[in-house]
Structure 1
Amino acid sequence: MASPKTLFFAAILVVFVSWVARGRNAPRDIVRATCVHASYPNLCLRTLSAYTGPAITTPRDLAHAAVKISLSHARSAAAKLASVKASAGARRRERAALVDCVEQIGDSVEELSRTLSALKRLRQSSGGGAAAEFRWELSNAETWVSAALTNEDTCLDGFEGIDGEIKTEVKKKITKVARVTSNALYMINRLDDTRGKPHTVDP
């Protein structure tokens, strides 16, 4: 039978291992607990779980990571659209929709970049207890990411009534951008006491 001292140290070891495990799982736990309520939970969990940036330990970290993911997808989509626009096989109406979409997604990239800047200032201002400045920068972040989402929706709307491979390709790309942006908006709204309703994008 083990001595009391051995049992004591065994208990300490179990507590220590449990504490380490909780520490390692903390970033994933906050992602899972938050994504379950996002506009697109599975996409949220998949993209944020694969995020390789700084550790996610707070709701602000989560919002920052979500916007960075959205910006990365928007930049990728912008490059893809520019390539597709150069297709000689595109019909006139398709080309017009592509030209508009390239501009709109370019605007989204700019707006998401501004969102990141606002979130960075938000992190700084909150540390000083400046409530008014915190609210101002949070409002800026919400405004910019909402504008990015509107541009992405407008891009998709421009292909209504158009059929073909180009529409299918563009719609698939932009729909994903819009959905990760919607999730980013949700993460930012969570930083406020008054949360907006999730914005969804039709498949």
Structure 2
Amino acid sequence: METTLNLSLSILLLLLLSPLLQAAHADEHDLVRTSCLHASYPEICLRSLSSCGSSASTPRDLAVAAVRVSIGRVLKASDFLSNLKGIARRERGALSDCVEQMGDSVDELGKTLSTLKLLRRGGDFRWQMSNAETWVSAALSNEETCLDGFKEVGGDVRSDVRRSITNVARVTSNALYLINLIEDNRR
């Protein structure tokens, strides 16, 4: 009888706590959902950051995750571009420049990531935020310049190159948006 009572109480306790546990899990993903809602590319933002919902409890955590996603996409695009075959001779220079620009983007995003991880409130905060925003903007410019380089040589950008670089630019744009949210939430 006592075992049945304990089991019944345990089940009742689980039933009572279940909505609270589900609400806590939903709150984790609400940060991602509400933060990505007004991003430049909300669907990409949600898709690329949904897996970090439980580890991101602040806008800063989410921005760090977004910069990490961006670095990963830049590295993947750079690897893709480095191994590209069958590109016209006149476009090889643009491709080489593009790979170099992707390397610069990784450096700039790495600086951003370091700054966000060490972000301090107080006198340095605005300076650190300005640096982070500048570096992500520079990475985004590199990605746009990469595509422009193909236009300058008179060639048509292959659809797979355009798709790869456009994907990188979109996640980087979302990262910049999420970095700006850190400052908006500070006010």
1:108 to 105, 109, 113: 105
1:105-150 Cα offsets, whole Å, 9 max, x none, are 110011111110010110xx23xxxx21111211111111111000
Q: Are the equivalent residues in 2 in contact too, given 1:108–1:149 (CA < 8 A)?
A: yes
Shift in Å at residue 14 of structure 1?
A: 5.5
CA distance in 1, matches of 2:52, 2:68: 9
2:156 counterpart residue number:
163
Runs of 4+ with deviation above 4 angstroms: 12-15
Equivalent AA in structure 2 for residue 135 of structure 1:
R
1:20 counterpart residue number:
21
CA distance in 1, matches of 2:165, 2:96: 14
CA distance in 2, matches of 1:56, 1:27: 7
Taking structure 2 as the reference length, what is the TM-score of the superposition? 0.85
Q: Which stretch of structure 1 is more off in the superposition, 141-150 or 90-99?
A: 90-99
Shift in Å at residue 46 of structure 1?
A: 0.5
Equivalent AA in structure 1 for residue 168 of structure 2:
V
Contiguous gaps of at least 5 residues in structure 2: 1-7
1:142 counterpart residue number:
133
Q: Are the equivalent residues in 2 in contact too, given 1:115–1:141 (CA < 8 A)?
A: yes
Q: Are the equivalent residues in 2 in contact too, given 1:71–1:109 (CA < 8 A)?
A: yes
Equivalent AA in structure 1 for residue 56 of structure 2:
I
CA distance in 2, matches of 1:112, 1:76: 14
* Percentage identity across paired residues of the two chains: 52
More helix by share: 2
Taking structure 1 as the reference length, what is the TM-score of the superposition? 0.79
CA distance in 2, matches of 1:172, 1:62: 25
Q: Which stretch of structure 1 is more off in the superposition, 66-75 or 153-162?
A: 153-162
SS at match of 2:111: helix
2:4 counterpart residue number:
none
SS at match of 1:191: helix
